[in-house]
Amino acid sequence: MNWEEVRSEARRKLGKLCVVCPVCNGVACAGQMPGMGGLGTGASFKNNVAALAAYRLNMRTLHEVAEPDLRVRLFGRELALPVLGAAIAGANLNLNGALSEEELAWAMLAGARAAGSLAMVGDGPDPAVWRAGLAALARAEGQGIAIAKPRPLADVVALARQAADQGAVAFGVDVDAAGILMMRRAGQPVGPKPPAELRQLVTALPLPLILKGIMTADEAEVAAEAGAAGIVVSNHGGRSLDHLPGTAEVLPEIAATVKGRLIILADGGVRAGVDVLKMLALGADAVLVGRPLAIAAVGGGAEGVALAFSRLADELRTAMVLTACPSPAAASPSLLRI
Ligand SMILES: Cc1cc2nc3c(=O)[nH]c(=O)nc-3n(C[C@H](O)[C@H](O)[C@H](O)COP(=O)(O)O)c2cc1C
- What mean pLDDT comes out for the span 138-153? 98
Q: Are 84 and 336 in contact (CB under 8 A)?
A: no
Calculate what percentage of the chain has a pLDDT beyond 70: 100
Residue nearest (by alpha carbon) to ligand 1 atom 11: 174
Neighbours of 256 (CB within 10 A): 11
Q: Does any ligand 1 atom lie closer than 6 A to the CB of residue 9?
A: no
Q: Does any ligand 1 atom lie closer than 6 A to the CB of residue 269?
A: yes
Does a structural domain hold residue 38?
A: yes
What's the CA-to-centroid distance between 36 and ligand 1, angstroms? Answer: 9
Does a structural domain hold residue 83?
A: yes
**Closest ligand 1 atom, residue 289 Cα:** 27
- Whole-Å CA distances, 104 to 29, 84, 132, 237: 20, 15, 9, 18
Compare 165 and 181 and report the one with higher pLDDT: 165
Does a structural domain hold residue 332?
A: no
Reply yes or no on whether the pLDDT at 181 is more than 90: no
Does a structural domain hold residue 199?
A: yes
User: Residue 150's closest CA among 182, 183, 121, 174?
Assistant: 174
Does a structural domain hold residue 69?
A: no
The band of 182, judged by pLDDT with boundaries at 50, 70 and 90, is: confident
Q: Does any ligand 1 atom lie closer than 6 A to the CB of residue 190?
A: no
Catalytic residues: 236
When mean pLDDT is compared across 95-99, 183-187, 196-200, 308-312, the lowest value belongs to: 183-187
Q: Does any ligand 1 atom lie closer than 6 A to the CB of residue 102?
A: no
Reply yes or no on whether the pLDDT at 57 is more than 90: yes
Q: Does any ligand 1 atom lie closer than 6 A to the CB of residue 275?
A: no
Q: How confident is the model at residue 127, as a pLDDT?
A: 95
Q: How confident is the model at residue 317, as a pLDDT?
A: 98
What's the CA-to-centroid distance between 147 and ligand 1, angstroms? Answer: 11
The band of 95, judged by pLDDT with boundaries at 50, 70 and 90, is: very high
Number of structural domains the chain divides into: 1
**Closest ligand 1 atom, residue 267 Cα:** 22
Q: Domain of residue 176: give its range.
A: 3-56+78-327
Ligand 1 pocket test, pick from 25, 88, 210 with the greatest ligand atom count within 8 Å of Cβ, gives: 88
When mean pLDDT is compared across 54-58, 112-116, 179-183, the lowest value belongs to: 179-183
Has this prediction a pTM greater than 0.95? yes
What's the CA-to-centroid distance between 122 and ligand 1, angstroms? Answer: 8
Pairing of strands 77-79, 72-74: antiparallel
Helix (H) or strand (E) holding 273: helix 273-281
Q: How confident is the model at residue 338, as a pLDDT?
A: 86
Q: How confident is the model at residue 208, as a pLDDT?
A: 98
- What mean pLDDT comes out for the span 305-314? 98
pLDDT digits (tens, 9 = 90+) for 209-251: 999 999 999 999 999 999 999 999 999 999 999 999 999 999 9
pLDDT digits (tens, 9 = 90+) for 253-299: 999 999 999 999 999 999 999 999 999 999 999 999 999 999 999 99
Ligand 1 pocket test, pick from 18, 291, 312 with the greatest ligand atom count within 8 Å of Cβ, gives: 291
Q: What is the CATH number of the domain that holds 323?
A: 3.20.20.70
Does a structural domain hold residue 64?
A: no
Q: Does any ligand 1 atom lie closer than 6 A to the CB of residue 123?
A: yes
Does a structural domain hold residue 108?
A: yes
Does a structural domain hold residue 70?
A: no
Chain mean pLDDT for the chain: 97
Q: Is the peptide bond before 328 cis (omega within 30 degrees of 0)?
A: no
Ligand 1 pocket test, pick from 23, 52, 236 with the greatest ligand atom count within 8 Å of Cβ, gives: 236
